[in-house]
Amino acid sequence: MSVQIEVQLIAVVIAAACAIPGVFLVLRRMAMMSDAISHTVLFGIVIGFFITQDLGSPWLFVGAVLTGVLTVSLVELLNRTQLVKQDAAIGLVFPVLFSLAVILISTFAGNIHLDTDAVIMGELAYAPFDRVVWFGVDMGPRALVVGIALVLLNLAFVTLLYKELKLATFDAGLAAAAGFVPGLLHYALMGLVSVTAVGAFDAVGSILVVALMIAPPSAAYLLTDRLPRMIGLSVLIGAGSGIAGYWLARWLDVSIAGSMATMSGVFFALVLLFAPERGLVAQARRRRTLAHARVQT
Amino acid sequence: MIPRDVPAIDVTHVTVAYREKPVLWNVDFTVPAGVLLAIVGPNGAGKTTLIKAILGLVRPAAGQVLLYGKPYREQRRLVAYVPQRGSVDWDFPTNALDVVMMGALWGIGLVSPAWSRERDMALEALDKVKMTDFAERQISQLSGGQQQRVFLARALVQDAEIYVMDEPFQGVDATTERAIITLLRELRAQGKTVVVVHHDLSTVPAYFDWVTLLNVERIAHGPVADVFTEQHLRRTYGGNIALLTQPFHAEERSQPYV
Amino acid sequence: MFDLIHTLLSSYTIRTVALGAAVLGVLSGTLGCYAVLRRQALLGDALSHAALPGIALAFLFTGLRELSVLLLGATVAGWAAALVMMLVVNHTRLKEDTVLGMVLSVFFGFGLVLLSFAQKQPTAAQAGLDAFLFGQAASIVERDVLTMAVIAAVALGLMVLFWKEWKLLSFDPQYGNTLGLPMRWLDIGLTSLIVVAIAIGLQMVGVVLMSAMLVAPAVAARQWTDRLGLMVVLAGGFGALSGVIGAVISSLARGLSTGPVIVLTVSLFVVASLVFAPNRGLLWKWWRHQRNRERLQGAVQRGELVLGVPALDETGS
């Protein structure tokens, strides 16, 4: 497989992995929580690195997921005092953890390589050169293997807990009455977001993970009212952003991850304008016909 | 100054649509000055949208609203609005007096009436709704009814000709309900016009002179005695009417349908 | 001790950085009050990320790294982002936080594209991403502080001028509309000031931490008072104080970057306020709860109160 195709495959797989939990973030109004988590997992990675002294260690994953859950818990703790509103609580928590991470890196990890640029921007172009070899067999680029695992994990989560997720998203009260634990589901979803964020880091970097989690589902939300279709469309739009972003980046010789995020924004803008029922053009047209119909009655 | 020969509110062919479905369709009615009008209808009937159209807060797709013969833009000073209590964050760091003083906020920047005059007007309005003792109280520490009275006082400060209120009786205590009723009658005695979105059918005949029955379209409009009939109510509320008329019969009001 | 203070005050760099941090603290603290009260605490986060393409473009076009040029770029981009957000929130069913997250990340991604393009140019004197992300407090010179102070003074002047209008905008914008006040323009004006404050803050604390500079002082101040006026003053004070303390601490130890230390300082103010503030604070609440329980139990034991009959509250709704 050529490097070129591998990079595109990685882009598509990562975008799909991000879009699946993204749908629920958009519907549950937790988009900014994913932004917070994508910042704070840096703290978990740093702590994990201090313990293992190995950037490739799976414990970094564990650390990052735990920090994601820690972020959510701290926000809820603040929120529960009733002194701080949810949005302000998010705005308080993630800078603290991020600051701690930056200070830890700059004071203790000065001479080892933990490149903050790479964490934030990702290095998709180099991803194919980091390969997974099992028992002497080349299984493909690490980012691709991780991405496929993420897609499978997210798909499994959504399929197995589909009814619960759906109910808890649309009617948390009813879900609680029906015996589900919405809190637990919430934390599970946030854990999933953390895992996905960390897994996607290498390829696209932390902030652009947010773009891939939010923009495609937002576009899909303007196109359909049905949840399964929304998930499908999100994955498609995400994958499209991945491929279009890759070619844009190649053409201009610029950051691939940045182009992917840009293209996801472009796709959203197109949907915003031209969506058949909810698009701005359709809205304007409907206003006009309505005014017209009124005049004639 | 205020023309007496034109209706206070003149709604012609108003149609409003948020998305696919129209929320208001071809709504038509006029309200003479000095009338207490209730707007009544089921959930989703477009009651709040109708008053927002009167206040120029939503732009109708078609039709127009005239206040004393002119569009809202030119008659702003004549209108005071009492929003739903739930529309603001009561944890905002301010006290009751301060909220009432917002009603005296005309013009922009430093060009507004002198502070002391604003303050006197606000205190006077608070006195009218029996809230003088709570003037310096942080607004989150007021009960629901007291918060509603603060909103009423704020509208009073505006000294308007037309008062538009969105569900002022929603979730208030008996004291506040009585205070609002007294206030409404005082306003009517002064020749003011009051439009109230109302949800309690059983009190319509006792509290109001005129009523608008609304369900996307205007079902009926006029003096309560003429239009507040079971037949009209049935058309407004559809199948749910059995449920809704029960309070009338159960309570045996002295003047049903009057 | 005296020696330490003497060294600090006589060091040009520390003095400049501390002064700059103080100016930023006052500005972001006061403006942050409105953002927090309007439940737009994360607006700062979104707008600061969204400033990246503006900075990259300003640099691409002028090739200059002047603070004022980059400020202009950041302001224009932040503004564009704010307008896009208003458009999408007003015309779609997407919720505000979704739109914030999307604009933040897409603008930032576009900024990375421009930045990677700029870095290929022969003229590129490395407009580093790091500086943008984490701030470069040490590079601040006296002229920068002067620029910041002038902008801050203008902003504070506007806040005094539009005091009542912006209070109404934060409390009940729809009512303001019915009064005939141009609420949309007041909103745009206030948001513009926040954009400018962010642009100033980028050099000091960087993108990621700028949001804390807006949110934290306001949240801390809110706990001590129920009046907006005092809250704004306190928030400005907390912001300035943590700016100075953070700048001094970071100058004492090698390798401590200024931005994160300032943010941790201001966050300590928040924690202390949440716990110790009279009336609203957690300690106070806990004590009140205990006292009530003791009283109630005492009353029950003395037979003055029989449990099981709910008390009627005339005023409660």
CA distance C29 to C24: 8
Whether residue A188 is predicted with pLDDT greater than 60 in this model: the reply is yes
Examine residue A93 and state whether it is found in any structural domain, yes or no.
Answer: yes
Note the pLDDT of residue C224. Answer: 95
A291–B19 CB contact, under 8 Å: no
Examine residue A288 and state whether it is found in any structural domain, yes or no.
Answer: no
Q: Establish how many alpha carbons lie within 13 A of residue B128's alpha carbon, considering only the half-sphere containing its beta carbon.
A: 24
Q: How confident is the model at residue B146 (pLDDT cuts 50, 70, 90)?
A: very high
Examine residue A53 and state whether it is found in any structural domain, yes or no.
Answer: yes
Q: Is B173 on the interface with C (CB under 8 A)?
A: yes
* H/E segment holding residue C117: helix C96-118
CA distance C273 to A78: 12
Examine residue A161 and state whether it is found in any structural domain, yes or no.
Answer: yes
For the segment C60-69, the average pLDDT, to the nearest whole number, is: 75
C125 or B129: which carries more pLDDT confidence? B129
Give the residue on C whose Cα is nearest the Cα of B173.
C317
The count of CB pairs under 8 A between chains A and C is: 204
Note the pLDDT of residue B20. Answer: 65
Least confident interval from A108-122, B228-242, C97-111: A108-122
Note the pLDDT of residue B245. Answer: 47
Give the residue on A whose Cα is nearest the Cα of B89.
A85
Q: Exposed (0-12), middle (13-18) or buried (19+): which is C93, by Cβ within 10 Å?
A: exposed
DSSP three-state, residue A133: strand
Note the pLDDT of residue C298. Answer: 84
Q: Is A87 on the interface with B (CB under 8 A)?
A: no
DSSP three-state, residue B143: coil
* C-alpha distance across the termini of chain B, in Å: 34
C49–A207 CB contact, under 8 Å: yes
Q: Which of B58, B108, B157 to mutate to test the interface with C (most CBs of C within 10 A)?
A: B108
The tokens describing C136, both together, are: 């470069």
Note the pLDDT of residue A2. Answer: 80
**Nearest CA-CA distance, residue B159 and chain A, Å:** 35
**Beta strand ranges found along chain C (DSSP E):** none
Q: Among partner residues C45, C109, C280, which is closest to A91 by beta-carbon distance? A: C45
| Share above pLDDT 90 across residues of chain A, in percent, rounded to a whole number | 32
What is the tally of structural domains in chain A?
1
- Neighbours, chain A (3 or more CB pairs < 8 A): B, C
Examine residue A63 and state whether it is found in any structural domain, yes or no.
Answer: yes
Examine residue A37 and state whether it is found in any structural domain, yes or no.
Answer: yes
Q: Among partner residues C91, C105, C114, which is closest to A283 by beta-carbon distance? A: C91
A3 or B139: which carries more pLDDT confidence? B139
B26 contact residues in A (CB cutoff 8 A)? 294, 297
CA distance C55 to C71: 7
Note the pLDDT of residue B196. Answer: 95
Q: How confident is the model at residue A173 (pLDDT cuts 50, 70, 90)?
A: low
Whether residue A133 is predicted with pLDDT greater than 80 in this model: the reply is no
Q: Are strands B22-31 and B9-17 parallel, antiparallel or unpaired?
A: antiparallel
**What homologous superfamily does CATH list for C2-301?**
ABC transporter involved in vitamin B12 uptake, BtuC (1.10.3470.10)
Q: Who contacts C261 (Cβ-Cβ below 8 Å, separation ≥6)?
A: A99, A103, C246, C247, C249, C250
- Locus of tokens 């991780």: A146
Q: Among partner residues A78, A260, A268, which is closest to C102 by beta-carbon distance? A: A268
Note the pLDDT of residue A57. Answer: 72
For the segment C81-99, the average pLDDT, to the nearest whole number, is: 90
For the segment B44-59, the average pLDDT, to the nearest whole number, is: 90
CA distance A95 to A104: 14
C 257-276 residues with CB < 8 A to A: 257, 259-261, 263-264, 267, 270, 274
Q: How confident is the model at residue C315 (pLDDT cuts 50, 70, 90)?
A: very low
Q: Establish how many alpha carbons lie within 13 A of residue A254's alpha carbon, considering only the half-sphere containing its beta carbon.
A: 24
Least confident interval from A154-158, A229-233, C173-177, C305-309: C305-309
For the segment A231-246, the average pLDDT, to the nearest whole number, is: 94
**Residue numbers of the domain that contains A181:** 3-213
A 253-292 residues with CB < 8 A to B: 277-278, 286-287, 290-291
Q: Is B171 on the interface with C (CB under 8 A)?
A: yes
Q: Establish how many alpha carbons lie within 13 A of residue B140's alpha carbon, considering only the half-sphere containing its beta carbon.
A: 13
Q: Which of B54, B81, B166, B178 to mutate to test the interface with C (most CBs of C within 10 A)?
A: B81
Alpha carbon distances (Å) from B102 to B45, B90, C53, C175: 31, 15, 40, 9
Q: Count CB atoms within 10 A of the CB of residue B241.
A: 16
C182–B108 CB contact, under 8 Å: yes
The amino acid present at A76, given as its one-letter code, is: E
Note the pLDDT of residue C60. Answer: 83
Q: Are strands B162-166 and B79-82 parallel, antiparallel or unpaired?
A: parallel
Q: Count CB atoms within 10 A of the CB of residue C9.
A: 10
B108–C165 CB contact, under 8 Å: yes
- B130-143 tens-digit pLDDT: 999 999 999 999 99
Q: Which of B12, B16, B25 to mutate to test the interface with A (most CBs of A within 10 A)?
A: B25
Note the pLDDT of residue B250. Answer: 35
What CATH number is attached to the domain comprising A191?
1.10.3470.10
Least confident interval from C25-39, C99-113, C294-308: C294-308
